[in-house]
Amino acid sequence: MMTKVKVQPLLVNYKTLEEFKRFKEYGHQELAMFEDLQSNIVENDSESPFFGIYFGNALVARMSLYRVSKKYDHYFQPPQDYLELWKLEVLPDYQGQGFGKALVDFAKSFQLPIKTNPRVKSHNFWEKMGFQKAMYDVERDLGENPLIWLPSGVEEREV
Amino acid sequence: MMTKVKVQPLLVNYKTLEEFKRFKEYGHQELAMFEDLQSNIVENDSESPFFGIYFGNALVARMSLYRVSKKYDHYFQPPQDYLELWKLEVLPDYQGQGFGKALVDFAKSFQLPIKTNPRVKSHNFWEKMGFQKAMYDVERDLGENPLIWLPSGVEEREV
């Protein structure tokens, strides 16, 4: 039996930030959100770049998604707005149930090209999701391992 | 007794690329260098952005270092050329002997600001090296955890 999976935007509040601590890729971004909330720089329940999947009351999968403006696009042809996807992560007890795919499908539903910079070990997953290795260019990519997804009508830019 | 440590530029050749396979952070960059060498896009023994430390004949530590032009500087005040440092890694059997510090000291010797995006778990090391957390800005930093080092006379840019 398939569980019905709902991807939803995550709001900045103490409950969400507490749940983020269970994910491995907890870094400056989460700390900055916490500090902004504490010092009232952002309001409680303001928008975040995160989307997630709840199982009951618990956040079990998440990703960050940011729309990069066309003027900063160095990857696609024709140049256009694209989505940068990062921190895609499913908690260990919930892996293998399609939650990762549900998040990626959600990102694809915007019909914009997507770029991500995953750990090298996760390449099998990304290949199954239809992502391909971008040509590597040191000046542009530095320490990244860029993978891209192209909706129809979009090509990779030559570097 | 202190071993005398020499940091040297690494040239693109099959021997170096074979040694790179022993490092955990092996990714698109190394594969691209290999392909470029195979297809004669780059010459044997051409320059790479890598620097390393040999112990006898074996490469035991390395980092990548790239000079980013002032016009792309979004981190420092006044805006200036800076170094992006990535893939700093010491092979497990050679850790705790100052090889990591020797690489960082080499990077600092250019007297340019340095930016790096390390794994969260390595923050103790970077703090000891005098690096500090950059203010996090989602639009600029996306999935990064930027750390910076400021030579005298340079400040962090407000975001």
Asked if A41 has any chain B CB less than 8 Å from its own CB, the reply is no
**CA–CA dist B108, A61 (Å, integer):** 40
Domains, chain B, with CATH or none: 7-154 (3.40.630.30)
The verdict on a CB contact (< 8 Å) between B28 and A117 is: no
- A contacts of B86 (beta carbons < 8 Å): 142-143
| The pLDDT value given to residue B119 | 81
Q: Does A143 touch chain B (CB under 8 A)?
A: yes
Whole-number pLDDT of residue B78: 96
Contact between chains at B28 and A142 (C-beta distance less than 8 A): no
Amino acid at B46: S
* For residue A78, cis peptide bond before it (omega within 30 degrees of 0): yes
Taking a C-beta distance cutoff of 8 angstroms, is the pair A101, A87 a contact? no
Segment B147-151 shows an average pLDDT of 98
CB pair distance less than 8 Å for A29 and B120: no
pLDDT at position B120 is 77
Residues A71-126 pLDDT 10s = 999 999 999 999 999 999 999 999 999 999 999 999 999 999 999 999 878 989 99
Residue A131: the pLDDT is 98
What was the pLDDT predicted at B159?
Answer: 80
Question: pLDDT exceeding 90 applies to what percent of chain A?
Answer: 93
Please give the average per-residue pLDDT across B9-35, as a whole number. 96
Half-sphere exposure of A66 (CA within 13 A, CB side): 20
Rounded to an integer, the average pLDDT of B11-32 is: 96
Q: Which of B72, B51, B49, B53 is CA-nearest to residue B61?
A: B53
Residue A15 has pLDDT above 50, yes or no: yes
Q: What is the structure's pLDDT at B83?
A: 98
Put simply, the answer to whether A138 touches B26 (Cβ < 8 Å) is no
User: CB distance A29–B141 less than 8 Å?
Assistant: yes
∠ at Cα A29 (A8, B31), nearest 5°?
A: 95
Share of chain B above pLDDT 90, in %: 93
On chain B, the residues whose CB falls within 8 A of the CB of A31 are: 136
* Beta carbons within 10 angstroms of residue B97's beta carbon: 17
- What DSSP state is assigned to residue B74? -
Three-state DSSP at A129 gives: coil
pLDDT above 80: residue A1? no
Q: Does the pLDDT of residue B1 top 50, yes or no?
A: no
Closest residue of A to B123, CA-based?
Answer: A27
* pLDDT for B3: 59
Average pLDDT of the residues of chain A: 95
A1 vs chain B: nearest CA distance in angstroms? 35
Query: What average pLDDT does chain B have?
Result: 95
